[in-house]
Amino acid sequence: MKRPKPDFESQLDYELKFHIDKLTEEKIAAGIPPDEARRQAVLKFGGVEQFKEELRDVRGSRFLETLLSNLRGAVRVACKRPSLSLTIIATLALGIGANTAVFSAIDAILLRPMPFPNGDQLMQITQYSSKGKGGAIPAAPARVEDWNRMNSTFQAITGYYTQDVAETSGILPEKITQAWVAPRFFEVWGVAPALGRSFLQEEERGGGGSLAVISDHLWRRRFGASPDAVGRILRNGAESFRIVGVMPASFLFPNRDVEFWTPVPLNAPVMRTRNANWYTIFGRLKPGVTLAQARSDIAVVQSQLGKQYPQTDADLHTRVESLKKVTVGDSGRSLWILFGAVTMLLLIACTNIAALLLARTTERQREIAIRSSLGASRGSILAQLLTEIFVLALAGAAAALAVAAGTSHLFQTMARNLPRVDEIAPNARLVLYTVACAAVTTLLCGLFPAIRATRHTLNESLAHGGRTQVAGRNPLQWALSGLQVALAVILLAGAGLLLRSFDSLAHVSPGFESAHVLTLRISASWAESVDFNRTRQRINRDIEALGSIPGVEGAATSGTLPGLPSGTTSELAIVDAPVEPGRKIMAASHNVSPGYFAAMRIPLLAGRDCPEQPMGAALVNRNFADAYMAGRLPMGNHLQFVPASPYLMPGEIRGVVSNAREEGIEQDPVPIVYWCNSAPTPMPVFLVRTRGEPMAMAEAVRRKIHQVEPARSVYEVMPLEQHLSDALAENRLRTELLTFFALTAVSLACIGLYGTLSYVVSIRRREVGLRLAMGAARRQIVLQFLREALRVSLFGCAAGLILAALFTRVLNGMLYGVSSLDALTFGGVAILMLLTAALSAWMPAMRAAQLEPMQVLREE
Amino acid sequence: MPNEKSDLLQGTLDMLILKIVELGPVHGYGIAQRIEQISNDVLQVQQGSLYPALHRLEKRGWLKAEWGESDNGRTAKFYSLSAKGRKQLADEVSNWNRLAGAVAEILRTRSAEAQL
């Protein structure tokens, strides 16, 4: 038995052919000659192709075929009008590209889990004291072990601290960042070394000597990626570490600078002190445990410890937060604002395209009418029109992907210190996202024009020639133009505010002179802090050496970089004054060496600078003196920390200096106490005031330090201004990007206005021609069209400003020295928008007035 | 879309097909012949138009289709009634009878009025 092939078309052919064959046989049996019989049979059966079409409709098998034929048609149409197609593709490439670029950052930074197995289980635990201002305090190793042992919600809890040391096994000391880690460190991350092994349990407890796991980066740089690296020795002065493993390249924790991890020996006596401030703490939750459960669990554990060790633990509280949230911080807001901006940009691009397509529908009216008279349903024409746009949108999306891939580096260069910025890279999710964008834009730009195009009935369109069509007011086109103007105004207002804010930041006087200051650090280990005096002598020796370099005007140290938040607000007491109940003395603490104020050019207002033997001395800034010591002479009073600490000695106030924005350029000066201490830690920041260009001194500085400290390395040699500018990177990124988006939006809106007015002029040629022929002045024609365009722009502007007043609220807290409703900015935006709108309307309006009336009228 | 055509005629054709198929598996040509014979050429349909109806009924699950051997040994597609189709046929027949009864009633009333 011969059967047809299993596909639908063959079976259909077979079934229909069988019927016609049978009919033919029947006619032949009735005595009709075969040829004639066949003809009559076919006639009786009816149009085979027509039934096949109907059958395909019934079966729904037409879908793919229709899609393919629509796609073919769409490509043909796109190629037939290359300039329009290219305009649409380019507009979408920009619109979707900018959108995808920002989305790639949002995806990498905010949406994707941290790049560790089950990254959502990773938590940071911080401890803070209920006294003072609640800043996080690094935890003691003993307490980390207690938490790990007593909790019931974490798989494991661990901690680390880092230091920049000099690796001295090479010719020159090389600065590398070392992370000292608590037991279970690699277990918590869930990442195993790519080569070798991590630490064994007994090694983490202090057996087996000093070991190290090194980073992929160090492995490649120092050992040429050789497998022999395992077993080699790293040296830091007298200390040495045997390499047991190499981490994979993706492991960049706690940050991308860390080059090797070493276990803290757990059995050392210091590990039992409960008031050591060492570790940053992380833990991995057990599966299925919620953040709230973990929080209350750790809180219970800590309160038990508080009862057990009332002296050290009673006052401590804990906070548990997901690692992702801690890492991302509040950079999310900037990113979402940018995303909102690019989404508006994409909307403008869509309205632009919609307006273009609307103008074209008139030209295609006849074609559509003919197709529908040939039996195409409205749905199928709609599908065809939408497919035409979808093809262009897909092409635009492909170009957009290229744009986004190109700009993924942009984030890395523009905002190096944005968290997780290394993870921004093109991937499959982005491809999906752009395709989704293409689909949405297709509907946004295409649906309106397509519905409009298919609404007119057949007779109407066929009866009218293209030219004689009555020129309507085209409210839809104008509404789209107005919408574009409104959206552009919102973006422009946002960008304007950020620009004004950035400008006032640039002109703020920080109270110190940041130009001509070179900053550097010298490698050191925390272990050196055991011998305070020796460390201080070493640092004073370094300061002196730096100061003796020709071309250097002065050198000093500070615990933190001036002008960058130190986050060290603490409570103080003035020993010699009666305590005022209910009034806390809160101030930022900075540790500076003698010569700091001279090097930073912070004027001394009263008293004297730090003495050469500086311990036990302090200076305060004017804000502090005004706020807490009004009406008294500050000099001679003694300050001490609350609660008193054995590590932090009281100090006598020796002088008052003028206010400086030590805690961030965008922050008003806070009360500050400068403790005279050149070596608060073994690794303070060195500040060198140079006569000329600071970086020109870098090599001399390096050489000098190598001479004095042959076993240490110098690193982070850069101008102070660079640090200050890096601190504004996120601010600059959003300002520059938003400005770029806003300018793009304005140009798109202008192109839209230009296009719409050109179109309106073109379909009203006859009217204009007639009026000119009847003696209208050309000036009147120009004014009439200009007025029309300006009226729409004015409406758009007004709507945009109202919306902007609502939207710019999201910028609150990001603005410096300008309100989110700044009248100057809003007014400037309106004027700028209206001027550019007038300019872009000028050309089409002039063209209208230059029509030759006779020629126009003859065209009919 | 096919549904935009006369619903009455289409519904009638569907019912006729179901009725003929009820007697046993039959191919499209067989159905066309039966319609022609039974209706004595009153129902003038192009025979091809049968197929969209057949496929639609199959898609709704009222008909089952199978490839089988016809009387002269050629392969043909045979349609037969499904359980669902049997129920549908019963519904349509009773609907039709009610409609036909109502129409006949109206026509009788009209002729009675005309006599007055």
Question: Is A1 within a domain?
Answer: no
Chain B residues whose beta carbon lies within 8 Å of the beta carbon of residue A15: 28, 51, 76-77
Quote the percentage of chain A above a pLDDT of 70.
94
B residues 3-32 lying closer than 8 A (beta carbon) to A: 27-29, 32
Structure-block tokens of residue A552? 């250097």
Please give the residue range of the domain that contains residue A51: 8-60
Give the mutation candidate from A1, A19, A25, A26 for the B interface (greatest B CB count, under 10 A).
A19
- For the segment A412-425, what is each residue's pLDDT rounded down to a tens digit? 777 777 778 778 87
CATH number assigned to the domain comprising residue B9:
1.10.10.10
Residues A663, A637 share a domain: yes
* pLDDT above 90 for A802: yes
Helices A82-106/A428-455 angle, 10° precision? 140
- Of the pLDDT bands very low, low, confident and very high (cuts 50, 70, 90), residue A614 is low
Residues A456, A566 share a domain: no
- The dihedral over CA atoms of A241, A242, A248, A254, expressed in degrees to the nearest 10, equals -20
| Yes or no, beta carbons of B76 and A46 under 8 Å apart | no
Of B1, B47, B51, the CB nearest to A377: B1
Question: Is A746 within a domain?
Answer: yes
Residue B97 touches partner A, C-beta closer than 8 Å: no
Residues A651, A734 share a domain: no
Residues A44, A85 share a domain: no
E strand residue ranges, chain B:
26-27, 63-69, 75-81
**Cβ-based contacts under 8 A for chains A and B:** 68
Residues A593, A614 share a domain: yes
Domain termination residue (choose one: A663, A697, A721): A721
Domain termination residue (choose one: A676, A701, A721): A721
- For the segment A429-476, what is each residue's pLDDT rounded down to a tens digit? 888 998 998 888 888 888 888 887 777 654 555 555 444 444 455 677
Question: Is A484 within a domain?
Answer: yes
Sheet with B75-81, strands from edge to edge, namely B26-27, B75-81, B63-69
| 8 A C-beta contact, residue A81 and residue A357 | no
Give dist(CA A99, CA A15) in Å, integer. 53
A375 vs A113, higher pLDDT: A113
Place of tokens 């009025």: B113
pLDDT of residue A462: 52
Quote the percentage of chain A above a pLDDT of 90.
32
Nearest CA in chain B to A379: B1
Helices A729-763/A331-373 angle, 10° precision? 20
Question: Is A126 within a domain?
Answer: no
Question: Is A511 within a domain?
Answer: no
Question: Taking residues A375-392, what's their average pLDDT?
Answer: 82
Backbone angles phi, psi at A200, to 5 degrees: -80, 160
Question: Taking residues A765-788, what's their average pLDDT?
Answer: 87
Looking at residue A817, its amino acid is G
Domain termination residue (choose one: A688, A705, A721): A721
Question: Is A619 within a domain?
Answer: yes
Give dist(CA A51, CA A528) in Å, integer. 93
pLDDT of residue A46: 79
Give dist(CA A487, CA A544) in Å, integer. 60
- Shortest alpha-carbon distance between residue B56 and chain A (Å): 6
| pTM to 2 decimal places | 0.73
Residues A273, A182 share a domain: yes
| 8 A C-beta contact, residue A652 and residue A523 | no
Question: Is A673 within a domain?
Answer: yes
Residues A186, A106 share a domain: no
Chain B residues whose beta carbon lies within 8 Å of the beta carbon of residue A47: 48
What's the structural domain count of chain A?
Answer: 5
Residues A637, A595 share a domain: yes
- For the segment A734-744, what is each residue's pLDDT rounded down to a tens digit? 898 899 999 98
pLDDT of residue A62: 58
Whole-number Cα distances in Å, B64 to B34, B35, B61, B92: 19, 20, 7, 18
Question: Taking residues A598-623, what's their average pLDDT?
Answer: 89
Give dist(CA A560, CA A562) in Å, integer. 6
Give dist(CA A568, CA A571) in Å, integer. 10
Residues A794, A712 share a domain: no
Nearest CA in chain B to A53: B52
Q: What angle do CA A762, A768, A771 make, to 5 degrees?
A: 170
Least-confidence region, from A234-238, A575-579, A727-731, A751-755: A575-579
Residues of chain B with pLDDT under 70: 1-11, 39-45, 110-116
Of B46, B73, B77, the CB nearest to A46: B46
* pLDDT above 80 for A670: yes
Residue A2 touches partner B, C-beta closer than 8 Å: yes
**Entry field: residues in chain A:** 860
Question: Is A756 within a domain?
Answer: yes
Of A18, A45, A50, the CB nearest to B76: A18
What count of Cα atoms within 13 Å lies in the side-chain half-sphere of residue B81?
20
Nearest CA in chain B to A58: B56
**How buried is residue A305: exposed, middle or buried, by Cβ count under 10 Å (0-12/13-18/19+)?**
buried
- For the segment A300-346, what is each residue's pLDDT rounded down to a tens digit? 999 999 999 988 888 888 999 999 888 888 788 888 988 999 999 99
What's the structural domain count of chain B?
Answer: 1
| Yes or no, beta carbons of A15 and B52 under 8 Å apart | no
| 8 A C-beta contact, residue A159 and residue A280 | yes
**How buried is residue A181: exposed, middle or buried, by Cβ count under 10 Å (0-12/13-18/19+)?**
buried
Of B52, B74, B76, the CB nearest to A54: B52
A83 vs B84, higher pLDDT: B84
Whole-number Cα distances in Å, A91 to A234, A396, A555: 56, 8, 55
Residue B2 touches partner A, C-beta closer than 8 Å: yes
Give dist(CA B69, CA B50) in Å, integer. 21
Residues A582, A684 share a domain: yes
Please give the residue range of the domain that contains residue B89: 2-115
* pLDDT above 90 for A294: yes
Bridge partners, A174 (sequence order): A167
Give the mutation candidate from A9, A22, A40 for the B interface (greatest B CB count, under 10 A).
A22
pLDDT of residue A469: 44
Residue A217 touches partner B, C-beta closer than 8 Å: no
